[in-house]
């Protein structure tokens, strides 16, 4: 069988959450199913590292789909045209976008519907595009995969999709996320934070990541504790807002915040594994991969008590109200002050992380592909 795949987010050195999902699942699925041909559809020159096996045929389609008008052109004309030419039995779209046609069978992975809950968090045209087309994508799909039970129920209720049409395929953690020895942690802290302990946040600095309240909570934590703890922010400022800027500028301890920008995966894993705790207090997530990555690093986690995050965290994290600065600050105080609590969370994280790995994700996604073809 021919399977066409939307691989436009496989971009060398620029993989984000959906990009990593695409990478980790496809490298396993293509290798483990040599009896099928996979047609990878890119929107730019691709890296050979993404051609995982001999049964992968790459095709570059233009234009580059990085704007709502170009999204429309790329999927409704370029992709639709190549599907008509190649005649695959199935089109898999790891970012959820689809051509709006009745053929072939379609399996989109819709990770979350944050744009429905917080439309103002995206640029105006992007938000309009998502809110107009994703209900259509969901109705066009033969089946749908998503990354948490929370997202499944959100799709069911918002788009009136039958629950039996949706498969949950949890995310995994990159194999680079591992515990570090004390000397290795110290070496990393010397390089990153002058040897001082730090809370860490990983992710694009997007409004839903709740960066403004994180800044305020850290500032209140430092005001309430005599400590040298710093806050390390890892991620691109692509979505940096005036609200984030104002919160940062009003910090008394703003000098204790370290912005690293994007880091390559190996370095990112080392910085995460050397943290006092991960503080990941988004207002909305379809999954929350940094929670899981911290579990694999034996690092305690503070995360939100909303959307998918309690599902991923289980009993292995401190859950906070992400809309309350005091709630976030109080959990920072608990983590900082209580080593027994940190050890307990680490041990619970070792248990919780066993529920999630990329091989399981790939297996479940393949099962979803099989169901789509039935």
Please give the structure tokens belonging to residue 101.
């046609």
Predicted pLDDT of residue 315: 98
Q: 304-321, pLDDT tens digit by residue?
A: 999 999 999 999 999 999
Of 139, 123, 158, 186, nearest to 286 (Cα)? 158
Tell me what the mean pLDDT of segment 219-248 comes to. 94
The pLDDT value recorded for residue 125 is: 96
Contact between 232 and 271 (Cβ < 8 Å): yes
The two three-digit tokens of residue 13, written as one number: 């050195």
Could you identify the residue written with the tokens 């807002």?
Answer: 241
CA distance 44 to 4: 16
Mean pLDDT of 198-207: 95
Determine the average pLDDT of the residues in 266-281: 98
Q: Quick one: pLDDT at residue 7? A: 98
The span from the CA of 371 to the CA of 80, in Å, is 23
Per-residue model confidence as pLDDT tens digits over 83-107:
999 999 999 999 999 999 988 999 9
Cα–Cα distance measured from residue 280 to residue 320, given in angstroms and rounded to the nearest whole number: 10
pLDDT band at 237 (very low <50, low <70, confident <90, very high): confident
Checking if the pLDDT of 223 tops 90, the result is yes
In this prediction, residues 157-183 reach a mean pLDDT of 97
pLDDT at 133 over 90: yes
What Å distances lie between residue 186 and 122, 156, 263, CA to CA?
Answer: 39, 47, 19
For position 68, what pLDDT does the model report?
97
pLDDT over 90 at 225, yes or no: no
Per-residue b/e over 168-187, b at no fewer than 16 CB within 10 Å? ebbbbbbebbeebeeeebee
Among 107-111, 141-145, 234-238, the range scoring the smallest mean pLDDT is 234-238
Q: Is the pLDDT of residue 145 over 90?
A: yes
User: What gap in Å lies between CA 19 and CA 169, rounded to an integer?
Assistant: 15
Could you tell me the two tokens for 114?
Answer: 């944050």
85 exposure class (CB count in 10 Å sphere: 0-12, 13-18, 19+): exposed
146: cis peptide before it, omega within 30°? Answer: no
Mean residue pLDDT of the chain comes to: 97
For 182-355, give the CATH class. Answer: alpha beta
pLDDT of residue 340: 98
Mean pLDDT, rounded, for 205-225 = 96
- pLDDT over 90 at 239, yes or no: no
Mean pLDDT of 143-166: 98
Q: Does domain 2-172+358-373 have CATH number 3.40.50.12710?
A: no
pLDDT tens for each residue of 28-82: 999 999 999 999 999 999 999 999 999 999 999 999 998 999 999 999 999 999 9
What share of the chain in percent tops pLDDT 70? 100
Task: Say whether pLDDT at 299 is over 90.
Answer: yes
Sort residue 148 into left (φ over 0), alpha (ψ -120 to 50) or beta: beta
Kindly report the three-state secondary structure assignment for every residue of 283-316.
CCCCCCHHHHHHHHCCCCEEEECCCCHHHHHCCC
Mean pLDDT of 301-305: 98
**CB-CB neighbours of 1 under 10 Å:** 12
pLDDT of residue 238: 82
Q: With beta carbons less than 8 A apart as the criterion, state whether 184 and 270 touch.
A: yes
Q: Grade residue 16 by pLDDT with cuts at 50, 70 and 90.
A: confident
User: Does the pLDDT value for residue 349 go beyond 90?
Assistant: yes
The residues of the chain that CATH labels 3.40.50.2000 are: 2-172+358-373, 182-355
Report CA Rg, the chain: 21
d(CA 175, CA 178) in angstroms, rounded, equals 7
């Amino acid at each position: 069988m021919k399977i066409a795949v939307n691989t436009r987010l496989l971009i060398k050195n620029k993989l984000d959450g959906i990009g990593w999902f695409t990478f980790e699942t496809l490298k396993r699925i293509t290798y483990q199913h040599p009896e099928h041909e996979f047609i990878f559809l890119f929107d730019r020159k691709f890296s050979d590292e993404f051609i995982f096996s001999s049964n992968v045929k790459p095709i570059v389609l233009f234009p580059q789909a990085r704007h709502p008008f170009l999204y429309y052109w790329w999927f409704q004309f370029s992709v639709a045209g190549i599907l008509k030419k190649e005649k695959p039995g199935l089109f898999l779209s790891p970012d959820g976008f689809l051509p709006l046609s009745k053929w072939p069978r379609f399996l989109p992975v819709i990770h979350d519907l944050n744009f429905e809950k917080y439309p103002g968090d995206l640029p105006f045209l992007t938000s309009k595009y998502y809110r107009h087309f994703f209900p259509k994508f969901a109705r066009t799909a033969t089946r749908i995969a998503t990354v948490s039970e929370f997202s499944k129920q959100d799709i069911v209720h918002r788009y009136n999709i039958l629950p039996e049409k949706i498969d949950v395929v949890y995310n995994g953690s990159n194999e680079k996320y591992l515990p570090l020895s004390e000397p290795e942690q110290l070496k990393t802290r010397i390089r990153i934070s002058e040897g001082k302990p730090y809370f860490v946040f990983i992710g694009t600095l997007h409004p839903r990541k709740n960066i403004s309240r994180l800044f305020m909570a850290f500032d209140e934590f430092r005001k309430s504790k005599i400590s040298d703890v710093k806050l390390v922010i890892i991620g691109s400022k692509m979505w940096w807002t005036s609200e984030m800027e104002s919160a940062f500028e009003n910090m008394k301890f703003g000098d204790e915040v370290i912005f690293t920008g994007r880091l390559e995966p190996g370095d990112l894993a080392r910085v995460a594994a050397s943290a006092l705790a991960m503080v990941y207090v988004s207002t909305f997530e379809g999954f929350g991969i940094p929670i899981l990555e911290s579990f694999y690093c034996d690092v305690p986690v503070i995360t939100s008590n909303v959307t998918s995050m309690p599902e991923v965290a289980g009993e292995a994290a401190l859950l906070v109200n992400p809309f309350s600065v005091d709630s976030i600050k109080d959990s920072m105080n608990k983590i900082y002050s209580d080593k027994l609590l940190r050890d307990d969370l680490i041990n619970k994280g070792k248990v919780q992380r066993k529920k999630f790995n990329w091989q399981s994700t790939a297996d479940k996604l393949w099962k979803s592909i099989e169901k789509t073809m039935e």
